[in-house]
A and B are shown apart, each in its own frame.
Chain A
Amino acid sequence: MRTWSRVRGVLRDPGGLFGALVIALILIAAIAGPALAPYDPSAQSLETRHLPPFWMDGGSTAHLLGTDQLGRDLASRVIQGARVSTIVGVAAVLMQVLVGVTLGLLAGYWRGALDAVIMRLADVWLAVPFLVLAMALAVVLGPGLWSTVLVLGAVGWVTFARIVRAQTLSIRERDFVLASRVAGARPIRTMRAEILPNVAASVIVVATLQVSQMIIAEAALSFLGLGIQPPDVGWGSMIAEGRDSLSSAWWVAAVPGAALVIATLGINLFGDALRDELDPRIR
C-alpha cells in the first residue's frame, strides 16, 4: 500500500516521470539489446563509413543515427552500450552501498576507535580526487568491464559511509534503539533491524543519484582508455573513437554523448523525485 502510493508520488512529478521513462528505456535496451538492434554492433562496412544521421543530407533511414569510421551502425552501438552502463552503474553502486553502509553503521554505532579509523580512512579517500584515484586503480587492475566495476565501487563507498554514519549517530540515541538493547537484541541485530530501516530512505536516494555518477565515471575512464575494452561497447569509448573525426563527422561522438546526457539527466530527475517522496525532512 505504502510502496504503491510512493511509486505514484514519484510518477506524478514531471521529472520523476521523465526519469522513470528514461530508466525503463535503458533497462529495455540493456536486457533486450541484441533483439532490438537493427545491426550487429561490431559489424563493419567500409563502404558506408561516416554516414550521417537520417535527417541530414546524405543520411539514410537504414542507419537512423548514422555510422562511425568503420561503418558500424551507431544506433545499434548505443543500444549495446546501455548494457555496459547499466552493469557498471548498478554493480558499482551496489558495491559502494554494501561497503559504505556496513562501515557507516559500524562507525556510527560503536563510535570510539573504530569510528576514528573508518572516518580517517574516508578522509584520506576524499582527499584524493575521485577520477585520479580511479585511474590509478584502473592502471593497477588493468582495464576491462569487471575491473571498472571494482575500481568505481572501491572509490565511491565514502559517500555512503559518511551519510549512514551521520544518521546512525543520531538514531542510536533514540529510545527505540535502547529498547531493543533492553529487549536483549545483540548489537548486529539492533543495527540491522532498528537502525538500518531508518537510514534506508537516504541510502536509496543517494544510490540512485550515484548510479548516474558512476555511468559518467565509467564513460570518463573508458574515454581515457582505462575502462571498457573492445569488443565491449561503452558510451565513453564510443565518444573517444569519435574524437578524431569531430570536425568531419561530429555525430560519431555526439550520439553516444547525447545518450550519456539523457541517461544521466533522467536518473538524476528520478532520484530527485524519489527524494521528495522518501525523505520527509525536506518535504
Chain B
Amino acid sequence: MAIRQQQERGAPVLEVRDLTVEIRTKRGTITPVDRLSFTLRGGEVLGLVGESGSGKSVSMMALMGLLPAGAARVTSGTAFLGGTDLLSVSPKRLNSMRGGVVSMVFQDPMSALNPVMRVGDQVMEAVRVHHRGLGRKGLRARAVELLELVGITDAGERMNAYPHEFSGGMRQRVMIAMAAANEPAVIIADEPTTALDVTVQAQILELLQDMKERIGSAIILITHDLGVIAEIADRVMVMYAGGKVEEAAVQPIFDAPRHPYTASLLASMPKLSGAVTTMRTIPGAPPDLLALPQGCRFNPRCPLADGRTECHTRAPELVHLDGGQQSACHFPAEVEKAFSRSSDQIEEGGERA
C-alpha cells in the first residue's frame, strides 16, 4: 500500500543509483551496466533507447533479480521501489514483489506464453500468485475482466483457447493483461512491439498507455525504435556501452539532442519526407566491452572528438543542462551545430530530388 500512495503523478516511484552489473567471461570481466542512475516518476513512460548490447535489458533484468545466476552479478548500486531496495532485498521478498509491484511485458509474445496452457489459465495463474485467497471462480472472473480490459472480445470464451489460436497482437494483449493483473507500480516493457506488424504496433502502444492511465503504473519502455518513443514516452534515457549518455523529456531530445550519440541515432532515422536515399548509419560499431576506448566511450564514432585530447583521455561525467536535460559529453553545446549541418544536407538533398 505504501507504494500505491506514492504513485501520484511526478513523485519518484523507482530510484536507481549507481547500478553496476559485471559479467565474468572467459576473456575477462565486462561491465554491461556501469553506474547507471535514473528516477522513474509516477504515471510516466520512460523510454530507454540504445543499440543492442548497450545494457538496456541487462539493467532491467538486474532490477528484477533475474540475471543468470553465477555468470552475472550486481556489484554495486541501489534501486529503491517504495522503500525497498530491489538490489539488496532477500530473494524471497523480491519474488513476492515480482508480478505484484513490478511486472514485465516481453518482446516476443509468441514465446512468452506457454504453448500447452490455456490462455485463461495463464492469466489466472498471474493473478493467483498474488491473490492466494481467491477461489477458482474469483480468479476466473478477474481473468475475464482483465482480458476484456485489454480489448479481447468474447473474453469468457477465449479463456479456453490455446496461445496458437491467437494472433501476435492478441497474444501481446494477453501479456499486457498478465503484467497488469496485480496493478503494479512499475511495468517494464522490453521492446513490446518489435515482433508485431506495424499496424498492430500502434494498437499495442495505445493499449499500454491506456492501461497505464487506468491502473496508474509507471512504465519503462525499452526500445530501439525512436518512433515508438516519440509516440508514447514522456522522458527518454539514451544508453551507450553500459552507461547513460543522455536523458531528457521527449521534445528536447528530438529538437535539440545534447549528446552526439543521440544526434547520430536521430540522424539515422529514415525520413518519410524527401527522396529515398541510402540510409544513414552511425560509422563504426558499438565498442567491445572487453576493450573500451580510453576517455569517452563514444569517441571512435564521434564527429566532435577529432583531435580533441579531452575526449580521448577523460570520461565525461553527466552534466545537468537547462530544462532538466542531462548529457555525458564534454561539448554538449556543439552537438546541435555539428549535426544540423549534416541534417541540412539531407533535407537539401531531398528537396533537390
Contact = CB atoms under 8 A, between A and B. Distances in A.
Contacts of B107: 175
B130 to A, nearest CB: 6
Contacts of B111: 174-176
Contacts of A189: 129
Interface in A95-127: 112
A185 interface: yes
A178 B114 CA distance: 11
Nearest to B126: A183
Given A183-B98, A183-B181, A197-B114, 11 more contacts: A176-B113, A178-B66, A178-B106, A182-B64, A183-B99, A183-B129, A184-B97, A184-B130, A185-B99, A193-B117, A194-B117
A174 B113 CA distance: 9
Interface of B: 64, 66, 70, 95-100, 103-104, 106-108, 111-117, 125-126, 129-130, 175, 178, 181
Contacts, number: 64
Nearest to A199: B116
A174 B107 CA distance: 12
Contacts of B104: 179, 182
Contact of A184 (B113, B116, B129, B175): B129
5 contacts: A180-B125, A182-B103, A185-B125, A193-B117, A197-B114
Question: Chain A at the B interface: mostly helix, strand, loop or mixed?
Answer: helix
B57 to A, nearest CB: 11
A181 interface: yes
A152 B100 CA distance: 46
Given A194-B114, A197-B116, A198-B115, A179 B178 contact: yes
Interface of A: 112, 174-176, 178-186, 189, 193-194, 197-198, 200
The 3 closest A-B CB pairs, nearest first, are: A184-B99, A183-B99, A175-B112
Nearest to A178: B66
B98 A181 contact: yes
Contacts of A178: 66, 106, 112
B130 A179 contact: no
B194 to A, nearest CB: 13
Given A175-B106, A179-B178, A184 B114 contact: no
Contacts of A197: 114, 116-117
A179 B97 contact: no
